[in-house]
Amino acid sequence: MHKKEIFLDHLLKAINLPTLLKKKQNLKITNIADLVSAKTKTISFFSNIKYQDQLQKSKASAILTTEKYKNLIPKNIVAIVCKNPEIEFIKVANFFYPDSYFSKVSNKNLNSREIKKKFKTLKHGINLYLEKDVKIGKNVFVGNNVSIKKNCIIGNNVIIGSNVVIENSIISENVHIGDGSILGKKGFGFKFIDKKCLRIPHLGNVVIGKDCEIGANCVIDRGSIKNTVIGDRTFLDNLIHIAHNVCIGKDCIIAGQVGIAGSTIIGNNVFIGGQAGISGHLIIGNNVNIAGKSGVVKNIEDNQTVMGYPATSLKKFLKKNK
């Protein structure tokens, strides 16, 4: 966690952002945040009208926005007008977290004697790499060739298979993680500046609820500025990719080779068939069934069954494909 605190004026100067602030701001900024999780002394951004409800409830002290939306910013929040709020927000994120792009190899790992002394009920195979700040509950089993790195909390009665890598993750109790899965690595997010590709920093965690099962060779990316979340009693088959900021509800079943793009929200009791693809920034309701190989490109309301590409209601699909 960084320890920076900086006046807003100085922060904007540090990222080379010319501003039209009406007066000098004595406001101190200590961190970045999305609109929902923002607190006092944090800075966020607003560039999409569909997040207006979140904007009105936000507790951020300053928000990057465009000329078009500046009048929507609540009066108690400092509006910083710029051409591209998302790009400027990335610059701010890099200011606070300059080392966020790469997973550095730490020399703060525990040796076998230290592991045995610190985690008395832990059972594990050969070649366990465990960093010193990791927290592990009781009765945890870890397979061979496993790395559990920085910023991890492992709950009670968790089973972790072989050849697994976990970092930036909070794993609740009674979770089973299959062989070869990777949790908490940076996601795949980019923006373009003058036709040059700029990577979005990833600062969030992966949060796995209670009694979940993650199959073999799954990849769950850490969030960018918020967490990637898997709800209680949700089961993932093998070979599934969950992108950054995805939030999956409770009691869901997701079959093999499904891909869910970033920032999509999935409700409770959702069934997703094998090889289905779900686009980013969508909302999938509760009790939804998505047939295998479907391509979901728009929101789905509660209690719907869809199939095909683009995914449509079962009734429409059958009528079209008689």
* Domain CATH for 80: 3.40.1390.10
Is 250 found in the same domain as 119? Answer: yes
Is 138 found in the same domain as 79? Answer: no
Tell me, yes or no, whether 1 lies in a domain: no
Is 48 found in the same domain as 185? Answer: no
CATH of residue 288's domain is: 2.160.10.10
Is 120 found in the same domain as 88? Answer: no
Is 149 found in the same domain as 89? Answer: no
Is 234 found in the same domain as 116? Answer: yes
Contact in structure between 11 and 30 (CB atoms under 8 Å): no
Tell me, yes or no, whether 182 lies in a domain: yes
User: Looking at residue 105, what is its pLDDT?
Assistant: 63
Is 117 found in the same domain as 80? Answer: no
The Cα-based distances of 195 to 15, 86, 191, 192, 198 in angstroms read: 19, 15, 9, 6, 9
Just list the catalytic residues: 244
Is 291 found in the same domain as 261? Answer: yes
User: Looking at residue 75, what is its pLDDT?
Assistant: 93
Is 208 found in the same domain as 74? Answer: no
User: Looking at residue 47, what is its pLDDT?
Assistant: 93
Tell me, yes or no, whether 101 lies in a domain: no
Is 71 found in the same domain as 149? Answer: no
Number of domains making up the chain: 2
User: Looking at residue 59, what is its pLDDT?
Assistant: 96
Length of the chain: 322
Give CA–CA dist 59/74, Å, rounded: 10
The predicted model scores a pTM of 0.89
3-state secondary structure of 64: strand
- For the chain, give me the number of helices (H) and strands (E)? 5, 36
Is 28 found in the same domain as 123? Answer: no
Name the domain boundary from 63, 96, 129. 96
What single DSSP character describes residue 66? Answer: -
* Long-range contacts from 199-204, C-beta under 8 angstroms, 24+ separation: 199/101, 200/90, 200/93, 200/224, 201/90, 201/93, 201/94, 201/97, 201/100, 201/101, 202/100, 202/244, 203/32, 203/93, 203/97, 203/100, 204/168, 204/228, 204/244, 204/245
Tell me, yes or no, whether 103 lies in a domain: no
Residue with tokens 């069954």: 305
Give CA–CA dist 311/305, Å, rounded: 9
Is 131 found in the same domain as 74? Answer: no
Give CA–CA dist 122/182, Å, rounded: 20
Give CA–CA dist 294/258, Å, rounded: 10
Name the domain boundary from 52, 67, 96. 96
Contact in structure between 44 and 64 (CB atoms under 8 Å): yes
User: Looking at residue 149, what is its pLDDT?
Assistant: 93
Tell me, yes or no, whether 66 lies in a domain: yes
Q: Provide φ and ψ at 50, rounded to 5°.
A: -70, -10
Per-residue pLDDT of the chain (322 residues; tens, 9 = 90+): 555 799 998 899 999 887 666 555 678 999 999 999 999 999 999 999 989 999 999 999 999 999 999 999 999 999 999 999 999 999 999 899 887 766 666 678 999 999 999 999 999 999 999 999 999 999 999 999 999 998 999 999 999 999 999 999 999 999 999 999 999 999 998 887 778 888 888 999 999 999 999 999 999 999 998 999 999 999 999 999 999 999 999 999 999 999 999 999 999 999 999 999 999 999 999 999 999 999 999 999 999 999 999 999 988 888 888 7
Give CA–CA dist 92/110, Å, rounded: 34
Question: H or E stretch including 85?
Answer: helix 85-96
Tell me, yes or no, whether 200 lies in a domain: yes
Tell me, yes or no, whether 104 lies in a domain: no
Tell me, yes or no, whether 73 lies in a domain: yes
- List pLDDT tens digits, range 44-89: 999 999 899 999 999 999 999 999 999 999 999 999 999 999 999 9
Residue with tokens 């999935």: 266
Q: Report the candidate in 99, 4, 81 with the shortest Cα–Cα distance to residue 42.
A: 4
Q: Which range of residues forms the domain containing residue 139?
A: 112-320
How many CA atoms are closer than 13 Å to the CA of 256, on its beta-carbon side?
6
Name the domain boundary from 45, 72, 96. 96
Give residues with Cβ within 8 angstroms of 120, minimum separation 6.
none
